[in-house]
Structure 1
Amino acid sequence: MHHAPRPAVRRHEVSPRAAPRDDPRHRRARAGRGRLLARELPPLTTDGRSLIDAARKVVPQIRAAADEIEARRELPRSLFEAMADAGLFHMAIPRAVGGSEIDLPTYVLVIEEIGKADASTGWCLNQGAIFGTYAARMPRAVARTIWVDVPRAVVANTPAATAKAIVVPGGYRVTGPPGGQGFSTGCRHAAWVAAHAQVIENGQVRMEGNLPEARYFFVPVAEAKLLDTWHTRGMRGTGTHHFTVNDVFVPTERTVPSQTAPLIEDAPLYRIPRTLLFASGDAAVAFGMARTCLETFGELAGAKTPRAMQGLLRDQAMTQMTIGQAEAALRSGRAFLLEAVREIWAASMNSAITLDHRANLRLATTHGIRLAAQIIDSIYNLAGATAAYEDHLLQRHFQDIHVITQHLQGRLTHYELIGRYALGLKIDEARL
């Protein structure tokens, strides 16, 4: 059996056989990308531009740490600290609390920049930053004790309210299920975990209307036990482990209803449903990955001659057609996302968000994630055996994107949801 030769191109390296970066072909391609981007970017505020600049400054450090992120299944402490010190994890925290209160169109661009460098890092940033919007639903002094008074504070959460919080004088005693609470992205660099629990009072589940009352309980990470459960083929570096808490006291002020907390800081960012904020960042990560895969493949295609074929990979008609289609798909999907984000942001600034805005952004984000997966699949198929090695960026992103598509925000059932809405049928509006 003949084995494919071990490839010369790895991750972000450029083979000596590839066309030099000052080749006219590269200059034309870069100029073309710049012209398109100049037309589609929204006007940036000074704060927004500084955050994009901050993201770009940490990109080399992220890329240099990519193998370590993958191997350790977490962000290296030095990288996390650099990102935190740049204010990236506090982008979505209210200004009145001490954050940047970023606009959503700029936020998407920041997350995309980080996603281009490393998918897991982009995912960690999106999860940590958007959970910070709960600061807009807490008294300012309390929010500051969580996100500001603790240096480089990030809160790792868990989606399902599987813990129990028993009412006691001054607060609650919180205990999680035996197997812990799962999907807690970034818990190893977090200062707090947000246990998600139903409230128990006098031996009964306390009700909020017709539903059990569910709250987030902010627990110092030292008072929780972090479990080693995130063993996956993709998105390894997110460190999305389980954690458990056992009879931990949490004062009343350090809790917040997970679904029904009223806004205290009534600003445009916080009027947009949190699920759509998460989704916007997830789609931005996916598009960032797709762009990096296209650029990485371009380097490979200029260096590789496929076995039993004449000429370089880039000279093959199938390669040219597939890359043309991938470029069209990426640009159109990304444009749809940016359009939907700008529309809901404009509506939110006027307190006029409608179901149409929410449905449009739900469709743009789900479709963006699914489209990015198709783009990365097509590039992976073109790359051949070269992309089979686990240290190759195309292999890593192939695995990463197929974990992202399994996430709630990438569910195929969202297409059905939007289809029902478009046809005037009854829907669960909470999913928009």
Structure 2
Amino acid sequence: MHEHTSTDRDSRRWIDAARALASLITAAAPEIESGGKVTAPVMAALHAAGLFRLLMPKSIGGAELHLADFVQVIEEIARADASTAWCVGQASGCSFAGAYVDAAVARDVFGPPDAVLAWGPSTKQAKAVPVEGGYRISGSWMFASGSRNAQWLAGHCPVLDKDGKPQPGPGGRPVEITAMFTKDKAAISDVWNVMGLCGTGSDNYAVTDLFVPQTYTFTRDLPADRRENGTLYRFSVINVYGATFAAVALGIAAATLDSFIDLARRKAPNMSSQLLRDNAAIQQQVGYNYARLQGARAYLLQTLEDMWETLQPDTECSPAQRLHLRMVSTFVIQQAREVVDYAYHAAGSTAIFTSHPFERRFRDMNAVTQQGQSHMANFEAVGQMLMGG
């Protein structure tokens, strides 16, 4: 697949950096899966290439990369190993924190060359109680992808008033803060026994009555809390995750289809002397699935390019734009799933052996589709909007 890039930004550098690590990551993929985390040599190489700093603000040494370029980097990593790409993508979304807290705090969290912050999604099993100088937080969270290689964790916590009720914020919505703390402050539960994305090590974690200084907290996607005004940080973190998961799906699908094309050049079905590549039905199906994948990819990249342009110089993402990007991300993931499903089944019995990455990619792809950003229900709100709801 070809990159979709702009000539006025240094996107080629980062895509090439990801591609240069492909052989290392591919070779480590079985160990990443069996060990439940990205291996130390791969982590070191990713950090050395700056691939955990792509969405960090330039003011703290990050690349503050155009989102259309970032998803292409994630796509390249996912072609080698989906779990590694997922961890880089998750940590990069977490690094948005550097755009919200004071520069000194951002440098404390993200300054070390191997810095990784991990967090799980919002939960009702959390609370933040205001006290002098900060908050006392308690809660338990799930799905902290990449936390086994992280130094810092964070928890999204609704803020309670003195009566224990949710504190209202702008527009009357309850206030939710994100509180950052070092990983040694949390109790970690190893629960990651799953069928796909095994290498993400998405453990549970909990804290009880932990004091977190106010300077180490922020409110996601609230412009008033945002220190950085770059275009990147006008995207919501949720939208960034959606586009990232779509990029992981694209990488898995591209690698799976490539593997089938390679297999088709060599394999003849049992009881047949004709190679798969010479079968007219296979030719048609491969062409169709290639077009399906290219079309979905182009849709995602063009949407990100268009949104980026409309957000300059001082506008925010509108609800309609956020909804559109969520729809596009879901659509791309579902299209990628169809491509993987085709290639896996077309490969026949070859695909079921663990010695070939077909089966791991099939499992990883189906794990991606279980995440909320992938659910077909996301199209409901789009349908409502289109019909005047």
TM-score by length of 1: 0.84
Q: C-alpha distance in 2, partners of 1:358/1:204?
A: 32
Task: For residues 240-287 of structure 1, give each alpha carbon's deviation from its aligned partner in whole angstroms, at most 9, with x where no partner exists.
Answer: 111122332211211112453622211100111221111111111111
- SS at structure 1 position matched to 2:148: coil
Residue 92 of structure 2 is aligned to residue 132 of structure 1: no
Q: Is the 8 A contact 1:198 1:205 kept in 2?
A: no
Query: Which aligned pairs between 1:288-307 and structure 2 lie closer than 5 A?
Result: 288-307=251-270
**Which amino acid is the alignment partner of residue 201 of structure 2?**
G
Residue 199 of structure 2 is aligned to residue 237 of structure 1: yes
Structure 2 counterpart of 1:250, from 206, 212, 215: 212
| Percent of residue pairs identical | 34
Structure 1 counterpart of 2:34, from 45, 60, 71: 71
Query: Which aligned pairs between 1:384-395 and structure 2 lie closer than 5 A?
Result: 384-395=348-359
CA, structure 1 residues 252+356, in 2 after alignment: closer, same or farther (shift >3 Å)? Answer: closer
Residue in 1 that maps onto 2:25: 62
Task: For residues 359-415 of structure 1, give each alpha carbon's deviation from its aligned partner in whole angstroms, at most 9, with x where no partner exists.
Answer: 432222111000000000011110111101234211111111111111111110112
Q: How much does 1:324 deviate? A: 1.1
Residue in 1 that maps onto 2:370: 406
Aligned residues: 384
**Which amino acid is the alignment partner of residue 381 of structure 2?**
L
Q: Which deviates further from its counterpart, 325-334 or 201-210?
A: 201-210
CA, structure 1 residues 358+201, in 2 after alignment: closer, same or farther (shift >3 Å)? Answer: closer
Structure 1 counterpart of 2:115, from 153, 156, 161: 153
Q: Which has the larger radius of gyration?
A: 1
Residue 173 of structure 2 is aligned to residue 214 of structure 1: no
Residue in 2 that maps onto 1:321: 284
**Which amino acid is the alignment partner of residue 196 of structure 2?**
G
TM-score by length of 2: 0.93
Question: Unpaired segments of 5 or more residues in structure 2?
Answer: none
Residue in 1 that maps onto 2:58: 95
Q: C-alpha distance in 1, partners of 2:5/2:213?
A: 44
Structure 1 counterpart of 2:344, from 380, 385, 389: 380
Q: C-alpha distance in 1, partners of 2:117/2:165?
A: 26
Q: Is the 8 A contact 1:111 1:285 kept in 2?
A: yes
Query: Which aligned pairs between 1:156-305 and structure 2 lie closer than 5 A?
Result: 156-161=118-123, 162-176=125-139, 180-209=140-169, 210-258=172-220, 260=222, 262=224, 263-305=226-268
- SS at structure 2 position matched to 1:349: coil
Q: Is the 8 A contact 1:187 1:226 kept in 2?
A: no
Question: Unpaired segments of 5 or more residues in structure 1?
Answer: 1-32, 426-432
CA, structure 1 residues 215+355, in 2 after alignment: closer, same or farther (shift >3 Å)? Answer: closer
Q: Is the 8 A contact 1:344 1:358 kept in 2?
A: no
Q: Which deviates further from its counterpart, 338-347 or 158-167?
A: 158-167
Q: How much does 1:85 deviate? A: 2.3
Q: Which deviates further from its counterpart, 263-272 or 244-253?
A: 244-253
Q: C-alpha distance in 2, partners of 1:402/1:44?
A: 37
CA, structure 1 residues 362+168, in 2 after alignment: closer, same or farther (shift >3 Å)? Answer: closer
CA, structure 1 residues 383+272, in 2 after alignment: closer, same or farther (shift >3 Å)? Answer: same
